[in-house]
Structures are given as structure tokens and as C-alpha cells.
Amino acid sequence: MDVGTKRSRKTEEEKSGDKVNRPDRKKSVAFADANMKEAFEKLREGKFEDKQLLEFLQRAIEDLRSNPFCGIRIPSKLWPKEYVQKYNIDNLFKYNLPNAWRLMYSLRGSEIEIISIILEWTDHKESCTL
């Protein structure tokens, strides 16, 4: 192949970085509601497994602050109706956590900011459809 005709292939992150995940956009993470935030805070007081899950979630939050698109996009036909009705989402992502846990989140944003909204975390047994 001629060097002049060699095409570069961009990764999905590079493509999204061109328009959506620009470095100049402020990135933040929020909980979908007060109950979700309270459940997160209660993990600090729990047993070893709860504290371990808290560490997994804290790592995920760091990753989302760095790159909101780090999760796996879920096709709309697989979205739980509860998410659509309760949170009025127009996108859904899954972030795989260790020990078969999953973090479900949606993105909201503007030209200036992008917010990763944590909808829930669940283990594989509870969410076997995603």
C-alpha cells in the first residue's frame, strides 16, 4: 500500500472527542435523586462487601469525570421502561464494575458542560437483560 493513501482509523473515543467529549467541556458526576446519593453514602457504614462496592463506585466516578463516554452505550430498545419514565433519559450507558456489578448512567450536557447522571448500580443477577 502506498504511504500517501494509508488511512488512519480513529477509535470511538477519538471520534467522540472531536465533537462531544471536548477537553474544554466541564465534566461532572451527579446522582439521579437523593435516594441514590443516600444509598451511596450508606455504603461507607456497611460490611466489607459494601465498602468494597463503594471503592468500585468511587473508581467509576473518577473515570466518568475523566471521560463520560467510557461506558458501553446501551441500545434504546434495551432500556428499562422505568428509566425512561422516571428519569426521562435519551441515552443510557453501562459501566462494568468488578464482581459482576454494573453502574447504569445517562449523560446530559450543553456546549459548556457534560454531566454523568448515576441512575443505579446493580449486580448481574438483578440486571441480566443488559
What is the full per-residue pLDDT of the chain (130 aa) written as tens digits?
A: 444 444 433 434 444 444 556 777 899 999 999 999 999 999 999 999 999 999 999 999 999 999 999 999 999 999 999 999 999 999 999 999 999 999 999 999 988 999 999 999 998 766 544 5
Domains defined for the chain, CATH in brackets: 25-123 (3.30.2310.20)
Q: How far apart are CA 38 and CA 34, in angstroms?
A: 6
> Which residue do the cell numbers 454531566 mark?
115
- The pTM of the full predicted model, rounded to 2 decimals, is 0.80
Phi, psi of 101 (to 5 degrees): -90, 155
Q: How far apart are CA 52 and CA 48, in angstroms?
A: 6
Largest alpha-carbon pair distance within the chain? 62
> Which residue do the cell numbers 459482576 mark?
100
